Amino acid sequence: MSEYKRTAVLVDDNESSHKFFLRSVENLSIDLKAYRDTDTAMKFLGENKPSILFLNIILPDKNGLTFLGELRKLPLHAKTPVIMLTSNDYSQDRTVGSELGVLDFIVKPMSMRTITSIMLDYIK
């Protein structure tokens, strides 16, 4: 198990989101690990703790909130900072996310300034 002090993880199946996040961190000296599905992300997260996790709610293999519930059961990730990404701002998702310790929800489309600001706030 290792802890990456300057690593952010993105779990989103959208290629545009991957490119957007890569552009957002290119001048921040942050290592971005981007995954398109929860299975691949879990393989990394099972042994590594990033500084922050950006997690899309709508994923092809599993709902992001369901995935987060599973992740929170791992002692390593009981308190990992999580920002949810969503195209639909549903109050029910916010309620469940709050119960799971989600710090914030970002409604797509996102601004680069928002992502950069969050990264700088949570990755020290």
Please give the full DSSP string across 7-76, using - where no structure is assigned: EEEEE-S-HHHHHHHHHHHTTTT-EEEEESSHHHHHHHHTTEE-SEEEEES--SSS-HHHHHHHHHTSGG
Q: What is the pTM of this model?
A: 0.92
pLDDT value at position 21?
Answer: 94
Higher pLDDT, 5 or 91: 91
What CATH number is given for 2-122 in this structure?
3.40.50.2300
pLDDT value at position 26?
Answer: 86
pLDDT value at position 5?
Answer: 55
In the chain, where the domains are located: 2-122
Compute the mean pLDDT over every residue in the chain, rounded to the nearest whole number. 92
- At 13-28, the pLDDT tens digits run 999 999 999 999 888 8
